[in-house]
Amino acid sequence: MKDIFEKCRNFNIVKELEEKGIYPYFKVLESEQAPEVMIEGKKFIMFGSNNYLGLANDHRMKQASKDAIEKFGTGVAGSRFLNGNTTLHTRLENQLAKFKGREAALIYATGYQMNLGVVSALVSKGDMVIVDKLDHASILDGCKLSGAEIKRFKHNDLNDLEKVLSKAGEDIGKLVVVDGVFSMEGDIAPLPEISKLCKKYKARLIVDDAHATGVMGDNGRGTCEYFGLEHNEVDLIVGTCSKSFASVGGFVVGDKEVIHYIQHMSRSMIFSAGLPPASVAAISKAIEIIESEPERRKRLWENSNYLLESFKNMGCNTGHTKTPIIPILIGDNEKTFTLWRALFDNGIFTNPVVSPAVPPKRTLMRVVVTASHTREQLDRALNVFETFYKKIIKKKVFHKV
């Protein structure tokens, strides 16, 4: 008889990477998310964190969390649908709606749960949901959970999107879901054109601004602000609270009646405990800081532009990024792991991204800069990176580990 655990016993790829000394995941940090972190007693320049604005270790964020714990305890002990709803939660939703310029907002325990819950609440069997091929996995999982027909279009390819929409027919409900900023390659969805196509074919549009919130636009309100889009050009904006907001959670903002419907139909919201008070308070404080300290975003972009230009001068292929997410395209799993190991051995923490997370010929080193990095830290990291990039990638010689 078939044993479902057999695949677990035959799962050898991680063991093989560990034996070669190039397994890069589940590293245990011994310090807070700062520009430099401690791992096994050694200091690393952190180039792998989504702490874009440097708020994860801000003393005001910590104090807000402490104050919330003192008043509300460590957890809400239930779903928001029942007993897990506090004044902190409703205040945060009002803040989010105002920050994003929408009528209403709803928060979830995680960004993953948010995408599961929002998509599956809005579409079902008989509908069609259309996604970019590089959309985040949580979006695709939400589509699968919904039971709707799933169609994928080529990354940022407007002609392919229109081809899919035109074949869908007028009698079927259609939802298009795209990332505003794509998490691995740092490029931006062409939202104005996507919005026009959605209106032409009577499809609704959701934009996931997980990596754009706090980063894009004059006030950090995301890709809609970046493109100057009006409220009626994007139906719903979703995102996470684990990047610029430096906590955990997910959110959706939009028209009041739509948010009200999602609130009562979203399974991942109804059947999950509410976000802990400490996290809710931290997110609220993050929004306050983002609105009052635009200089953080300015420093982020100064660091990002400096780092990107330096990588290009090295001869690195950085793809089409226009954000603080800088991909160093390599195109080979083993070379990517080998470069990661060389950087790690020399005090640089990065994120290797290999297939199947990306197509086999699009493997990359994901480098993320923050507002808190100093120029000295950037230069020190660039010197290390240039040495081993030339040795391993440009000369195609593996660093011995």
Q: Does some domain include residue 117?
A: yes
Catalytic residue among 138, 146, 183, 279: 183
Judged on CB neighbours under 10 Å (0-12, 13-18, 19+), 255 is middle
Which of 211, 285, 373, 399 does the annotation list as catalytic?
A: 211
pLDDT tens, residue by residue, 141-151: 999 999 999 99
Same domain assignment for residues 273 and 307: no
Spatial neighbors of 283 by CB under 8 A, at least 6 apart, are 92, 107, 241, 245, 247, 249
- Residue ranges making up the domain that contains 242: 59-292
Domain presence at residue 14 = yes
- 230: DSSP letter: -
Q: Which of 292, 320, 336 is the last residue of a domain?
A: 292
CATH of the domain at 282: 3.40.640.10
Q: Do 367 and 220 share a structural domain?
A: no
Annotated catalytic, 211? yes
What pLDDT, on the 0 to 100 scale, is given for residue 287?
98
Going by their DSSP bridges, the two strands 174-179 and 128-132 should be labelled as parallel
One domain, residues 287 and 205: yes
- Do 286 and 303 fall within a single domain? no
Query: Considering 247, 273, 292, which residue would you say is the last residue of a domain?
Result: 292
CA nearest 21: which of 264, 342, 303? 342
Strands 351-353 and 364-368: antiparallel
H-helix or E-strand spanning residue 198:
helix 191-200
Q: Is there a domain that residue 134 lies in?
A: yes
Same domain, 269 and 378: no
| Catalytic residue (one of 89, 151, 243, 285) | 243
Residue 243: active-site member: yes
d(CA 179, CA 211): 9
> Quick one: 301 and 368 in the same domain?
yes
Residues 305 and 288 reside in one and the same domain: no
Same domain, 190 and 124: yes
The CATH number for 331's domain is 3.90.1150.10
| Tokens representing residue 54 in the block | 């440097």
Q: What is the pLDDT of residues 61-119, one digit of tens each?
A: 999 999 999 999 999 999 999 999 999 999 999 999 999 999 999 999 999 999 999 99
d(CA 357, CA 188): 19
The residues, any chain, with a CB within 8 Å of residue 276's CB and separated by 6 or more, are: 74, 75, 76
Domains in the chain, number: 2
- The answer to whether the CB of 113 falls within 8 A of the CB of 79 is no
In a domain, 45, yes or no: no
- List 273's β-bridge partners, or say none: 79
The pLDDT tens digits for 192-230 are 999 999 999 999 999 999 999 999 999 999 999 999 998
- 47 occurs within a structural domain: no
The pLDDT of residue 348: 97
pLDDT of residue 395: 67
Of 265, 292, 319, at which residue does a domain stop? 292
| One domain for residues 93 and 201 | yes
| One domain for residues 77 and 216 | yes
138 is catalytic: no
pLDDT per residue rounded down to tens, the chain (401 residues) = 899 999 999 999 889 989 988 899 999 999 999 999 999 999 999 999 999 999 999 999 999 999 999 999 999 999 999 999 999 999 999 999 999 999 999 999 999 999 999 999 999 999 999 999 999 999 999 999 999 999 999 999 999 999 999 999 889 999 999 999 999 999 999 999 999 999 999 999 999 999 999 999 999 999 999 999 988 899 999 999 999 999 999 999 999 999 999 999 999 999 999 999 999 999 999 999 999 999 999 999 999 999 999 999 999 999 999 999 999 999 988 899 999 999 999 999 999 999 877 887 889 999 999 999 999 999 999 999 999 999 998 765 443 33
Q: Are residues 126 and 207 in the same domain?
A: yes
Write out the two tokens for 400.
């011995």
Name the DSSP class of 129: E
Instruction: Report the Cα 368 to chain-centroid distance in Å.
Output: 12
Which H helix or E strand runs over 380? Answer: helix 375-388
Q: Tokens for 22, please give them.
A: 């190039």
Q: What's the whole-model pTM score? A: 0.94
Residue type, 205: L
